[in-house]
Every structure is written in C-alpha cells, then in structure tokens.
Amino acid sequence: MRFRGLLLGDIRFQFKYGFYFLYVLLTFVFIAVINAVPAAFKAKTAAVIIFTDPATLGIFFMGAIILLEKSQRVLNSLAVSPIKIWEYIAAKVVSLSIISTTVGFVLGVAAGAGGIASVALGTFLGSVLFTLLGIIIAAQTNSLNRFIITTVPAMLFLMVPPFFELFGYDSNIFNLYPSNIVLRIIAGNAENWLLEIPAVAMWIIFFYVIAHGRVSKMLRSIGGIKL
Amino acid sequence: MIRVKDLSFSYTGKPFLENISFEVGRGEIFGFLGPSGAGKSTLQKILTGLLSDYRGSAVVNGIEVKRHTNSFYENIGVDFEFPSLYEKLTAKQNLEFFGLLYQRKLITIPDLLRMVHLENDADKKVSDFSKGMKSRLNFIKALLHNPDILFLDEPTSGLDPSNSYDMKKIIKAERDRGKTIILTTHNMLDATELCDRVAFIVDGKIKALDTPHNLIMSKGAAKLCYAYFEGREKSGECLLSHTGSDELLKKLISDNKLLSIHSSEPTLNDIFMEITGRALQ
Ligand SMILES: Nc1ncnc2c1ncn2[C@@H]1O[C@H](COP(=O)(O)OP(=O)(O)OP(=O)(O)O)[C@@H](O)[C@H]1O
Ligand SMILES: [Mg+2]
C-alpha cells in the first residue's frame, strides 16, 4: 500500500516534470539515428545509445528529483510519515527503470537486435545501478552545482572502461566491473551468465546498502544536524 | 501523551536547549511561546523524531522518541512552519499522495478541503496557491490521517483574520475530540485564546509554565486608566483594587471631569516581558 503509493507518486512526479514526454521525443531521435547508420553497425550503435542514455539516465533524473523534493520541503513531510527507507528507494528505482527498460526495449527492436530480452535486461540492470548511484550522490548534496561536480567523475569512472571493452581492448580486470557487465548484456556479448548475473546482483546490493545509509542520513538531517 | 524530562540539546556543542521538563495530557492544547530563535521549532523537531541526539527523555505516545520506528508516525500529524507540498501537484493530488502513506483510516479529502474553504481549489496546482492557501493546505495535510497528536508550528501565520478565526475553531474542535496539540507561536493573542497551558521559552529554557489565566493573574493586577483635562489632556491610573483611595479620581468623578476611563488587564505579552525581560513580537 505504502510502497504502491510512493511508486505512483514518483511516476506522477516524473510525468508532471515532463520526463515521459522527453523520452518519447528522444526515442524518436534515437530511432532516426539508428536508421541512418549502415545495417552492419545498427546493433552496435543501438547498444551505445542505450548504454549512454536510457541505461544511465537514472543518475541525472535522480539528482533532479531529489533536489526538487528538497527544495519543496516534501522530504520534511516524508520524514514524519511512516514510510520506510527501502520503500522510498525502491519506488525511485522502479519508477525510473520502467522508463529506461521501455526505451531500451523499443530501441533494441528498432535496431533489429538479436537478443531483445538481453537488451531489456541489460538496460534494466544499468538503470537500477545508476539510479542508486544518483540517490547516493543526490542525498548528500543541496545544490545542482555540487551534484554535477560529483556526478561527472563518477560517470567517467563507470562509463569509460565498458567502451574500451566494446571496441576490442580486452582486459580481464574489468570482467566483473558493473558497467562493463551491463554494456556486455545490452550488446548481446554476455557469455558467462553464471558469473555475470551474480556479480551485477552483488554490485546492486552494494550500491543499495550505501544508498540506504545516505537516505537515512538525509531524512535525519532534516532536523538540521549535519551528519 | 507527551512527557519531557530534563531534556537538553545542542546543534553545535554549545548548550542550547537546557533542562526542559513538562507534560501534556490528552485533550490539551499546549503552547510553546517565545521570541524568534528561542528554540521552539527545535523542541518540536525533537518531539517529532527529527533530531535524535538529545539528552534526557522525551516520551511521545509511550515511545521514547529517539528510539521510534516508522509506525510512530501513524499517530502524529505535523504542520511545519513552511509549506512542505508538491508544487506541481494539485491540492487534491497532494492529499491523495500523502494519504496513501498511512494505514489509518483517513478523513475524506472533500471534508478536509471544506474545513479550510479550499473546496473550490481542489484541482488547482499548489504552485498557483497564495501563501495563505498553502498554509491552510499544509494544515489539513497534518489532520489527514486523524492522528492523536498534532504538532502545529505557526499554523495561523500568513492567514487573513477570517481564515485565522476558522482555523482556531478547528484546532479547538480537535482538542475537544481528545487530541493532544502542541502549538508553536509568537502570537500571544492566539496563545491566550487557544492554549490550555503555555510554556514561555527564551534562549532554550522554559521561563514560566502555566495556564494563560494564571500567568496573567499571578503577575500584573488589573489597572484602571483615566484621562482628564487640566490645562492639557492628562492621564492617571490606579490599581482596580485601590480605586477608593485615589483622591484625584474621586474628585474627577464627583466634578464630572473625566474624559475617559477604562480598566485594563495585563496581556500575556506584558507578562512575558515582565518574566523574561524580552518582547515577544
Ligand atoms: N540546523 C541548525 N543548525 C544550527 N543551528 C540551528 C539550526 N536550526 C536552528 N538553529 C539555531 O537554533 C536556534 C533556535 O532555532 P529555532 O528554529 O528552534 O527557533 P524558533 O524558536 O522556532 O524561532 P522562530 O520563532 O523564528 O521560528 C536559533 O538560534 C537557530 O539559529
Ligand atoms: Mg520556529
């Protein structure tokens, strides 16, 4: 009940702030791009687009959403309501992953990608990871500037290694790196499922635990104590 | 319902709230009255579980506040000093959203909106609301889940006299229904009118705690003020209990020379200044 309420609230919030509209528009643009490249590169182009956009959109959207919640003091109201921290986080993660996974799926279909289930799964996992990362960063920032300054290096760390791998520079160090696994799954290059899925799950749990601590701190610091 | 004992708290390490003790029962409106920066909102934040590293004890609804779980909030309604609403949602959507967070039976949204005369603004976005409309919506949001304890921080600030009057009526009706209400204010008229007991809070300490009536009676006695003409307009005053020994007054009365005469009881504001040496507003 409470979780459903939070989830519907988040979806409505994202709708009102035009996230859905934006992504319908972007999806058309992306489809146009995918159609413009030669057939041989379609799948790879789609993978790059999906990985750099729908799979990672969570981080920036999360920043926007939490900073808006802070500025409208909605977090104060939530802090004195019976919600649990996992409900708050899960609602954000699920609501954004609905947008991501849908867009990933549509782009995968548009590119004629072979393993469409794999594309959707990779997008979903990426979305969960990056949304959690967005929560971790946004929970401890109070301004958009600070958020962006912290996000850019985090994005570089996560986004660069997968591209080396995609374009043929193979290094075993990054075999179990979360973003590498995500791009591998999106691009249909995943082979070692028994290792990769548990590895991503571990990364998600790890990010979740940090996010839980950060959100708990954020809600407690509404009283004004810097923790 | 609320029992605070030897409570101390500091934001910075420098002592701020010190040795606060009081109890509030069912069906009582208890006022925190004090100048800006005195610590009223801080005390409210402690009682609502938003500041947990206090010393001493603060028990609300049988629960030591620093050890509360999420269900603690099922039975507490908080009206913050500032609006805490989704700006892009309508009044109705805001109430619907917050309503879903509680397991208790809710007061219906049309009833709530009618209480504060917002029934015709239900589908307007909060960002298009005036300051007073936001305050009223914020107020009914605290009542939504029909909690037994209400914390109201300056609920009437920014309201016009008629809305302020109506809100005070609602607050009294809630009290009569058995709710425990903590009212934070620097408006001593509101405090006199609404509160069963008030605590004067200055610089983080309780300087006095009693019913408004007792506070007023304990200190300044009622006075009689009068004006007369003697070359120019002059005025005099005496205690109501000593009118018989004011020779000037007796003479003015028998000579029909009084220009005006009225009795004046001290206000809570006078008492506040007398006890704390500081102005309330
Ligand atoms: N987050 C914070 N960190 C440090 N000091 C704070 C914080 N919040 C409030 N204070 C300080 O605590 C004191 C009391 O603030 P509080 O908000 O409790 O006052 P108040 O009595 O509610 O005043 P007002 O009537 O203006 O609302 C002030 O001196 C304020 O500067
Ligand atoms: Mg205050």
Of A151, A202, A152, give the one whose Cα is nearest residue A176.
A202
Per the CB < 8 A criterion, the answer to whether A66 and A138 are in contact is yes
**B85/A1 touch (CB, cutoff 8 Å), yes or no:** no
| pLDDT over 70, % of chain A | 98
Ligand 1 contacts CB of residue B82 (under 6 A): no
> Can you state the angle between helices A85-110 and A57-71, rounded to 10 degrees?
140
Ion ligand 2 neighbours, Cβ < 5 Å: B 41
Mean pLDDT, residues B78-104 taken together: 94
ipTM score here?
0.89
DSSP conformation class of B267: P
Nearest CA in chain B to A217: B50
Q: Tell me the C-alpha distance between B78 and B151, whole Å.
A: 5
Label residue A226 by pLDDT band (50, 70, 90).
Answer: very low
CB-CB neighbours of A128 under 10 Å: 24
Of B267, B270, B264, give the one whose Cα is nearest residue B189.
B267
Number of domains making up chain A = 1
Q: Residues A32-71: pLDDT tens digits?
A: 999 999 988 888 899 999 999 988 888 988 989 999 999 9
Strand order in the sheet with B55-60: B17-24, B2-9, B55-60, B63-64
User: Distance of CA B161 to CAs B132, B167, B202, Å?
Assistant: 11, 10, 28
Mean pLDDT, residues A124-148 taken together: 93
Q: In the predicted model, is pLDDT for residue B56 greater than 60?
A: yes
**A77/B87 touch (CB, cutoff 8 Å), yes or no:** no
Please list every residue in chain A whose beta carbon sits closer than 8 Å to the beta carbon of residue B13. Answer: none
Of B170, B171, B189, give the one whose Cα is nearest residue B181.
B171
Task: Considering only the C-alpha atoms of chain A, give the largest distance between any 2 of them, rounded to a whole number of Å.
Answer: 57
Ligand having the closest approach to the CA of B79: 2
Per the CB < 8 A criterion, the answer to whether B142 and B179 are in contact is no
DSSP conformation class of B125: B
Q: Residues B196-214: pLDDT tens digits?
A: 999 989 889 998 898 888 8
Ligand 1 contacts CB of residue B204 (under 6 A): no
Q: In the predicted model, is pLDDT for residue B280 greater than 70?
A: no
The predicted structure's pLDDT at residue A170: 74
Sign of CA dihedral A125, A127, A131, A134: positive
Of A126, A164, A139, A106, give the one whose Cα is nearest residue A216.
A139
User: Distance of CA A198 to CAs A206, A216, B73, Å?
Assistant: 12, 27, 37
Q: Tell me the C-alpha distance between A81 and B102, whole Å.
A: 8
Sign of CA dihedral B157, B161, B163, B165: positive
Q: In the predicted model, is pLDDT for residue A227 greater than 50?
A: no
Of A137, A149, A105, give the one whose Cα is nearest residue A124.
A105
Per the CB < 8 A criterion, the answer to whether B7 and B19 are in contact is yes
Cα B9 to middle of ligand 1, angstroms:
12
Please list every residue in chain A whose beta carbon sits closer than 8 Å to the beta carbon of residue B46. Answer: 223
Q: Structural domain of residue A48, as residue ranges?
A: 2-224
Mean pLDDT, residues B89-101 taken together: 95
Label residue B88 by pLDDT band (50, 70, 90).
Answer: very high
DSSP conformation class of B234: E
Per the CB < 8 A criterion, the answer to whether A81 and B102 are in contact is yes
The predicted structure's pLDDT at residue A223: 57
Whose C-alpha lies nearest to ligand 1, atom 25? Answer: B36
Residue A133: both structure tokens together: 């990362």
Q: Residues A101-119: pLDDT tens digits?
A: 999 999 999 988 778 999 9
Q: In the predicted model, is pLDDT for residue B147 greater than 50?
A: yes
Alpha carbon of residue A59 to chain centroid: 6
Q: Tell me the C-alpha distance between A224 and A128, whole Å.
A: 30
Q: What angle do CA B10, B208, B279 make, to 5 degrees?
A: 85
CB-CB neighbours of B220 under 10 Å: 16
Q: Tell me the C-alpha distance between A55 and A23, whole Å.
A: 12
Ligand having the closest approach to the CA of B200: 1
**A82/B11 touch (CB, cutoff 8 Å), yes or no:** no
Please list every residue in chain A whose beta carbon sits closer than 8 Å to the beta carbon of residue B45. Answer: 223-224
Per the CB < 8 A criterion, the answer to whether B163 and B136 are in contact is yes
Q: Identify the three-state secondary structure at position B57.
A: strand
> A226: buried, middle or exposed (CB in 10 Å: 19+, 13-18, 0-12)?
exposed
Amino acid at B19: N
The predicted structure's pLDDT at residue B244: 85
Mean of all residue pLDDT scores within chain A: 91
Q: In the predicted model, is pLDDT for residue B262 greater than 60?
A: yes
**A1/B48 touch (CB, cutoff 8 Å), yes or no:** no
**A74/B52 touch (CB, cutoff 8 Å), yes or no:** no
CB-CB neighbours of B256 under 10 Å: 6
Q: pTM for this one?
A: 0.87
Please list every residue in chain A whose beta carbon sits closer than 8 Å to the beta carbon of residue B82. Answer: 73
Residues 6 or more apart in contact with residue A93 via CB below 8 angstroms: A58, A127, A128, A131, A132, A135
Mean pLDDT, residues B168-180 taken together: 95
Residue B55: both structure tokens together: 């010393």
